[in-house]
Amino acid sequence: MERIAWHQYFMAQSQLLALRSTCTRLAVGATIVRDKRIIAGGYNGSIAGGDHCIDEGCYVIDNHCVRTIHAEMNALLQCSKFGVGTKNADIYVTHFPCLQCCKALIQAGIKTVYYAKDYKNHPYAIELFEKAGVHVEKVPFQESSIDVKHKEKATLMIQLIEDLRQQGLPEEKIRHYEQEYIKLFNE
Ligand SMILES: [Zn+2]
Ligand SMILES: [Zn+2]
């Protein structure tokens, strides 16, 4: 079995956290890491004990949901709640942070932002990161990194498709399965 690389390990944690999001607009997860150790995590959600967007619908003002606290902010606030320093820490986020979160991350002393997906990357945020000397790097999440049977599944699919071709399934259908295979296994 292959060992999971650090970037994928921490990004996987953020992907898991995103699955806990309670806002239907965007599922985001964030993991704060210091010296290769996870010190905090957060996801898009309401304040503790508050109404959830998934139950009540989003509370939208000026095209933003005002009910939720963003994943990055929740992770930073978890640190402040428990008195954990964030200076020189790294953060792994599923999406490029919004402008407000970018400012908070800079101010909290985060030194590297790893993000998996571009999301309305604001030019002012990029400028602020540059000025503050924060390293920003895209680290696409590979689902295969957390699927220990990835290779076996892929091999089985290829065999099945080949068998279907031998059985005389119309080429058009075979091509459909091949395209689905590529979507699933070649991320
Ligand atoms: Zn919402
Ligand atoms: Zn944000």
pLDDT of residue 106: 98
pLDDT of residue 6: 95
pLDDT of residue 21: 94
Among candidate residues 29, 28, 49, the one with its CA nearest the CA of residue 38: 29
Pairwise CA distance, residues 38 & 129, whole Å: 22
Calculate how far, in angstroms, residue 6's C-alpha sits from the geometric centre of ligand 1.
Answer: 31
Calculate how far, in angstroms, residue 159's C-alpha sits from the geometric centre of ligand 1.
Answer: 44
Averaged over 1-7, what is the pLDDT?
83
Pairwise CA distance, residues 18 & 26, whole Å: 9
Contact (CB, 8 A) for 64 and 70: no
Calculate how far, in angstroms, residue 24's C-alpha sits from the geometric centre of ligand 1.
Answer: 6
pLDDT of residue 185: 83
C-alpha distances (whole Å) from 1 to each of 32, 150, 185 are 27, 11, 18
Specify the pTM.
0.88
Contact (CB, 8 A) for 14 and 93: yes
Residues with CB under 5 A from ligand 1 (ion): 23, 53, 58, 65, 68
CA of 61, nearest ligand number:
1
Averaged over 68-83, what is the pLDDT?
97
pLDDT of residue 25: 87
Q: For residue range 78-119, what is the model confidence (pLDDT) as tens digits?
A: 999 999 999 999 999 999 999 999 999 999 999 999 999 999
Among candidate residues 46, 41, 56, the one with its CA nearest the CA of residue 22: 46
Q: For residue range 117-164, what is the model confidence (pLDDT) as tens digits?
A: 999 999 999 999 999 999 999 999 998 888 888 889 999 999 999 999
Averaged over 12-21, what is the pLDDT?
96
The Cβ-side half-sphere exposure at 160, using a 13 Å CA radius, reads 11
pLDDT of residue 187: 58
Calculate how far, in angstroms, residue 61's C-alpha sits from the geometric centre of ligand 1.
Answer: 10
pLDDT of 180 higher than 90: yes
pLDDT of 176 higher than 70: yes
Residues with CB under 5 A from ligand 2 (ion): 70, 98, 101
Q: For residue range 32-66, what is the model confidence (pLDDT) as tens digits?
A: 999 999 999 999 999 999 999 999 999 999 988 99
pLDDT of residue 147: 87
Catalytic machinery residues: 72
pLDDT of 1 higher than 70: no
pLDDT of residue 163: 96
pLDDT of 3 higher than 90: no
Q: Which amino acid is at 48?
A: A
